[in-house]
């Protein structure tokens, strides 16, 4: 048989695929898992096994899940010299079609069940099922060694090559000996037929005789047993009567002591309750002492840290004033430059707009109030909608807040704090990474006159296009400090999002805000109705804004220009430390009074305007020169103030954290005091102690009464006595039953005639033993003759198995070397392997060696039968999974040579295992 092509439609996960196979050579079909490789082998089996109207579960399993379609398979193959095209469709629109082209070219066709029957007949006539199953290795079966002794094509091949009949002999004597042997023995050497029946008859007679003898022995034993049981029953009855009198006496004693035990149980219960109450008050007292100690300790720590904070802030404030004085000088220069620009444009319609602006201001105030009222309504409604804060979440928020404060203090102390101010009309751009503007977004450009303070943990670039660009870079630890701040803030924000609050304080207060929010909501709604009684003020505002030509509430209003305010003297008096450079600059370089330029009158002609512009430019140039000197002095002052500010920030963070701890401890103490005041805690504990002592005294007195009456022992003694009484009654009843049973057996034995039965059984045993001895002599003779002929047949079998063994060894030596040998068992399966002088059973080999030997054996079988009419393809599904690279190379070469003698088909998802197969055809399944 040779496979030429397989076509699958709607088969498991395959929609439509045709695979064409060379009729000779090694073909490697490659595809990923679940692509349908194993489905090819399954489809070939189903098309010959099951008709199109089959209800088998195997057919239901191949239909794609969730699709109401008909699985269909078409196979083209050569079978016994005939070319077959066989198509079958199941489930929907069922059909079967078979076309056969005879060797002489004649073409025949069948459909329906006739097509199925004809295909099945041709397959069974030309394909040996044992050989087909032997050479088709399914997925996961590559380790199974073949046992092909029943494969007719193989038997024919080895018989032809060895010249020896399969059974080793064909003489009539062999049949006669086999027939005689099987009269007495099974093929596995066990007795059968009359011989087995005779042995069984002997065993039965022996058993019957033994049973009769045993029955007589049991009669004698029953007589003795009946006498002993009668004596034991009399003695036990006497002891039981005496013991029952003792039980009644114990019952009377127990009635007298039950009242005392009940009173003791009651007192014990009260004692346990009193102890539990005392333990509870003791825990309360200890907890109150802990809370008082915590408040006192945290208050002391907070006071100490607050003092340190005040000291640090005083120093930092002095340094900040120094910086402020230097920055004031810069502001003077900036103001000078701004003064020259503030009077360029004047409002031309100012007078006509005054009344409209007054009305607009009133409406804007009303609109603002209305927006505030609605915001209050929304805020109160949101509070009432859901409060989801828990004690555990507040604790986590407190921990997260502490970490944020610590991280920001460390960041502020470890990175530059840069103040950027736009002092002129030129554009000032900002960019960089790791910038912190106090939680606000960093703009790309500064507005005119604006200033921005930045903590720089990465890099800040401040530039004036076309003039100057300044880069500030943080130190090496800045990135780590920024990462700590970001992580702490992110964790705090995550917790705040979970709590749906703004901050920690809001979380603490959230549970107390519900009533306040309800009152706030009612009051706000009354205010809203009052403000909107005359209509929405927004419409009137829009009308006035349109008439005045000013921006609406959704637009950014233009800043009003103000007239120059003139110069102010910088406040640098009494600022301690770090002022030498600023004082030198202000005293020796520039007199600020010189910067105050009187406001020029508006010129009436062009020449006057030009002269005024020229004067303004000259004054601006002088101011810019002064600005450069003032910036240098301010930078020196900032540098000196950085360390003081860093220390103050850290002291502030520690003081705030300590204050939060004091507040938390105080709140917990106050909550406990609401439940029970401090003075009442000890009083309650003393009261509980006295109660316990009183109950224990009462319990002691009751216990003395119990001990005096022996009440505890009476119950145990009574229980033991009842148990003994029950046991004695059970023993008495058992003895009575045994005596009755024994007497009954003796009466029955007298009626059965046991002595006569024993004599008859012994006579029967002697007869069957004589007959069995006769059959045994004949069976032993047949066995000896059969064993003699069997030894001769084994020698013949060794000779006819030699062709398969030789082929296996020849193929195996190309992989393992010249020392490779194998031994076959009676089923022509490999039983042992020898390599380099070491002979091992198959089970003792490694997994890889077993798999390789299984493949070599199948290739040897294929080689032997490849020239006969019964040859079939060799199919390996996912083999060589346990072989190393060297063995893969040798096995690849062997698979390539095997294709020279027949059709070898390999299915795999690992094509690299077969890259060493020469002349192989690779088919890729997508």
- Residues 482-531: pLDDT tens digits? 788 888 888 888 888 887 788 877 777 776 775 677 777 888 888 877 77
Question: What kind and span of H or E run contains 782?
Answer: helix 754-800
Range of the domain at 867: 152-163+797-924
pLDDT tops 90 at residue 359: no
Q: What mean pLDDT is reported for the chain?
A: 80
Q: What are phi and psi of 845, to 5 degrees?
A: -80, 160
Specify the higher pLDDT residue, 38 or 343.
38
Number of neighbours of residue 421 by Cβ within 10 angstroms: 17
What pLDDT is stored for residue 325 in this prediction? 84
In which residue are the tokens 């309750």 written? 273
pLDDT at 577: 40
One domain for residues 8 and 88: yes
Query: Which among 376, 373, 375, 371 is positioned nearest to 553, based on CA atoms?
Result: 371
Confidence check: pLDDT of 570 > 60: no
Residue 115 lies in a domain: yes
**Do 40 and 113 reside in the same domain of the chain?**
yes
Residues 158 and 76 in one domain: no
Mean pLDDT of 678-705: 85
- Collect all residues with Cβ–Cβ distance below 8 Å to 277 and sequence separation of at least 6: 688, 691
pLDDT(560) > 70 = no
pTM, two decimal places: 0.39
432: left (phi over 0), alpha (psi -120 to 50) or beta: left
pLDDT (average), residues 184-191:
85
Averaged pLDDT, 106-113: 95
pLDDT at 724 over 50: yes
Place 579 in a pLDDT band, splitting at 50, 70 and 90: very low
pLDDT number for residue 423: 85
Tell me which of 408-417, 608-617, 773-782 is least confident: 608-617
**Residue 112 placed within a domain:** yes
Domains: count for the chain: 2
Alpha carbon 238 to chain centroid, angstroms = 75
The owner of tokens 């399954």 is 42
* DSSP output for 700-730: HHHHHHHHHHTHHHHHHHHHHHHHHHHHHHH
- Whole-number pLDDT of residue 578: 38
Closest Cα to residue 417, out of 480, 485, 334, 478?
478
Average pLDDT over residues 336-364: 60
Strand locations in 358-486, DSSP E? 417-421, 429-436, 451-464, 468-473
Between 82 and 226, the higher pLDDT residue: 82
Answer whether residue 670 is part of any domain.
no
Q: How confident is the model at residue 231 (pLDDT cuts 50, 70, 90)?
A: confident
pLDDT band at 386, cuts 50/70/90?
A: confident
Q: Is residue 817 part of a domain?
A: yes
Mean pLDDT comparison of 103-117, 119-133, 254-268, highest-scoring range? 103-117
pLDDT (tens digit per residue) in 647-657? 888 888 888 88
Over residues 283-324, the pLDDT tens digits come to 888 888 888 898 888 899 988 888 888 888 888 888 888 888
SS (H, E, C) 824-854: ECCCCCEEEEEECCEEEEHHHCCHHHHHHHH
Phi-psi region of 710 (alpha: psi -120 to 50; beta: other; left: phi over 0): left
854 and 900 fall within a common domain: yes
Compute the Cα dihedral for 658, 659, 665, 666 and give only its sign: positive
Residue 315: both structure tokens together: 């120093």
Same domain (yes/no): 75, 158: no
One domain for residues 902 and 863: yes
pLDDT tier at 598, thresholds 50, 70, 90: very low
Most confident of 186-200, 387-401, 612-626, 711-725: 186-200
Q: Residue 564: pLDDT above 50? A: no
Q: Are residues 82 and 159 in the same domain?
A: no
What pLDDT is recorded for position 357? 67
pLDDT of 97 higher than 90: yes
Q: Report yes or no: 545 and 552 within 8 Å, Cβ to Cβ.
A: yes
Q: Bigger pLDDT: 717 or 563?
A: 717
Do 66 and 158 reside in the same domain of the chain?
no
Residues 811 and 908 in one domain: yes
Rounded Cα–Cα distance for residues 814 and 501 (Å): 79
pLDDT at 169: 41
Structural domain includes residue 915 = yes
Tell me the two tokens of residue 38.
């194993």
Radius of gyration (C-alpha) of the chain in whole angstroms: 56
Which of the pair, 278 or 72, is modelled with greater confidence? 72
Q: What is the CATH number of the domain that holds 65?
A: 3.40.50.300
Confirm if 63 and 52 have CB atoms less than 8 A apart.
Answer: no
Report the pLDDT value the prediction gives residue 833, as an integer from 0 to 100: 93
User: Over 90: is that where the pLDDT of 454 sits?
Assistant: no
pLDDT at 515 (0 to 100): 61
Residue 394 lies in a domain: no
Q: Which residue, 805, 812, 810, is CA-closest to 831?
A: 805
Residue 397 lies in a domain: no
Residue 93 DSSP class: S
Is 460 contained in some domain?
no
Tokens of 42: 């399954």
HEC readout, 482-517: HHHHHHHHHHHHHHHHHHCCCCHHHHHHHCCCHHHH
């Amino acid at each position: 048989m040779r496979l030429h092509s397989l076509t699958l439609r709607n088969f498991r996960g395959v929609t439509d695929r045709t695979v064409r196979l060379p009729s000779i050579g090694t073909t490697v079909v490659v595809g990923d898992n679940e692509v349908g490789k194993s489905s090819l082998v399954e489809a070939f089996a189903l098309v010959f096994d099951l008709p199109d109207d089959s209800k088998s579960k195997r057919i239901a399993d191949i239909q794609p899940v969730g699709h109401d379609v008909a699985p269909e398979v078409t196979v083209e193959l050569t079978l016994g010299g005939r070319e077959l095209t066989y198509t079958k469709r199941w489930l929907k629109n069922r059909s079967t079609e078979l076309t056969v082209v005879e060797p002489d070219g004649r073409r025949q066709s069948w459909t329906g069940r006739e097509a199925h029957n004809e295909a099945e007949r041709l397959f069974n006539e030309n394909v040996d099922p044992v050989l087909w199953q032997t050479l088709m290795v399914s997925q996961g079966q590559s380790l199974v060694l073949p046992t092909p002794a029943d494969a007719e094509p193989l038997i024919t091949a080895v018989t032809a090559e060895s010249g020896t009949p399969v059974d080793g002999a064909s003489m009539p004597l062999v049949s006669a000996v086999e027939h005689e042997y099987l009269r007495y023995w099974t093929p596995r050497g066990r007795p059968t037929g009359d011989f087995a029946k005779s042995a069984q008859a002997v065993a039965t007679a022996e058993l019957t005789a033994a049973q009769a003898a045993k029955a007589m022995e049991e009669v004698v034993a029953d007589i003795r047993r009946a006498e002993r049981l009668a004596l034991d029953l009399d003695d036990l009855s006497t002891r039981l009567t005496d013991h029952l009198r003792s039980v009644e006496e114990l019952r009377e004693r127990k009635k007298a002591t039950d009242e005392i035990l009940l009173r003791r149980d009651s007192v014990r219960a009260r004692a346990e309750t009193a102890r539990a109450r005392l333990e509870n008050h003791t825990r309360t007292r200890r907890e109150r002492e802990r809370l008082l100690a915590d408040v006192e300790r945290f208050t002391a720590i907070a006071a100490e840290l607050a003092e340190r904070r005040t000291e640090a802030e005083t120093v930092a404030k002095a340094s900040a004033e120094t910086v402020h004085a230097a920055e004031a000088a810069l502001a003077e220069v900036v103001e000078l430059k701004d003064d020259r620009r503030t009077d360029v444009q004047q409002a031309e319609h100012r007078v006509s707009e005054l009344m409209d602006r007054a009305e607009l201001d009133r409406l804007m105030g009303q609109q603002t109030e209305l927006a505030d009222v609605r915001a209050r309504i929304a805020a109160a409604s949101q509070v009432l909608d859901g409060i989801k804060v828990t004690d555990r979440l507040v604790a986590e928020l407190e921990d997260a807040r502490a970490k944020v404060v610590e991280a920001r203090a460390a960041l502020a102390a470890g990175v530059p704090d840069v103040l950027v101010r736009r002092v002129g009309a030129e554009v000032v751009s900002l960019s960089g990474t790791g910038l912190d503007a106090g939680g606000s977004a960093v703009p790309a450009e500064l507005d005119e006159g604006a200033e921005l303070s930045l903590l720089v943990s990465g890099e800040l670039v401040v530039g004036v296009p076309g003039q100057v660009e300044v880069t500030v870079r943080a130190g090496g630890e800045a990135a780590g400090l920024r990462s700590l701040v970001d992580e702490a803030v992110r964790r705090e924000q995550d917790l705040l999002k979970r709590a749906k609050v703004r901050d920690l304080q809001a979380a603490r207060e959230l549970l107390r805000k519900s009533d306040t929010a309800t009152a706030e909501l009612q009051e706000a709604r009354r205010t809203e109705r009052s403000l909107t009684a005359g209509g929405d003020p927004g419409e009137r505002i829009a009308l006035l804004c349109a008439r005045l030509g000013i921006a609406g509430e959704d637009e950014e209003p233009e800043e009003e220009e103000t007239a120059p305010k003139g110069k102010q003297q910088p406040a640098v008096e009494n600022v301690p430390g770090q002022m030498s450079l600023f004082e030198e600059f202000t005293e020796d370089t520039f007199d600020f009074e010189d910067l105050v330029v009187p406001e020029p009158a508006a010129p009436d002609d062009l020449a006057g305007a030009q002269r005024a512009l020229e004067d303004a430019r000259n004054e601006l140039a002088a101011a810019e020169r002064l600005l450069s000197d003032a910036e240098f002095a301010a930078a020196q002052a900032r540098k000196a103030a950085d360390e003081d500010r860093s220390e103050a920030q850290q002291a502030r963070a520690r003081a705030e954290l300590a204050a939060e701890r004091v507040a938390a401890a105080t709140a917990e103490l106050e909550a406990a005091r609401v439940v029970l005041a401090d003075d009442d805690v000890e009083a309650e504990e003393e009261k509980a102690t006295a109660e316990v002592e009183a109950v224990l005294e009462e319990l002691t007195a009751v216990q003395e009464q119990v001990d005096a009456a022996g009440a505890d022992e009476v119950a145990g003694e009574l229980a033991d006595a009842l148990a003994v009484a029950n046991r004695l009654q059970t023993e008495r009843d058992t003895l009575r039953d045994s005596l009755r049973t024994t007497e009954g057996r003796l009466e029955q034995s007298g009626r059965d005639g046991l002595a006569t039965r024993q004599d008859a059984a012994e006579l029967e045993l002697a007869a069957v033993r004589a007959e069995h001895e006769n059959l045994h002599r004949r069976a032993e003779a047949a066995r000896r003759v059969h064993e003699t002929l069997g030894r001769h047949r084994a020698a013949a079998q060794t000779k006819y198995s030699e062709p398969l063994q030789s082929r296996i060894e020849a193929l195996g030596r190309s992989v393992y070397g010249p020392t490779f040998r194998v031994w076959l068992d009676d089923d022509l399966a490999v039983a042992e392997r020898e390599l380099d002088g070491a002979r091992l059973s198959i089970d003792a080999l490694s997994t890889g060696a077993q798999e390789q030997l299984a493949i070599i054996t199948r290739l040897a079988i294929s080689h032997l039968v490849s020239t006969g009419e019964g040859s079939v393809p060799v199919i390996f599904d996912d083999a060589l999974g346990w072989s190393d690279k060297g063995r893969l190379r040798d096995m690849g070469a062997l698979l390539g040579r095997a294709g020279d003698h027949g059709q070898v088909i390999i299915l795999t998802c690992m094509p690299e295992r077969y890259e060493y197969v020469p002349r192989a055809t690779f088919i890729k399944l997508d």
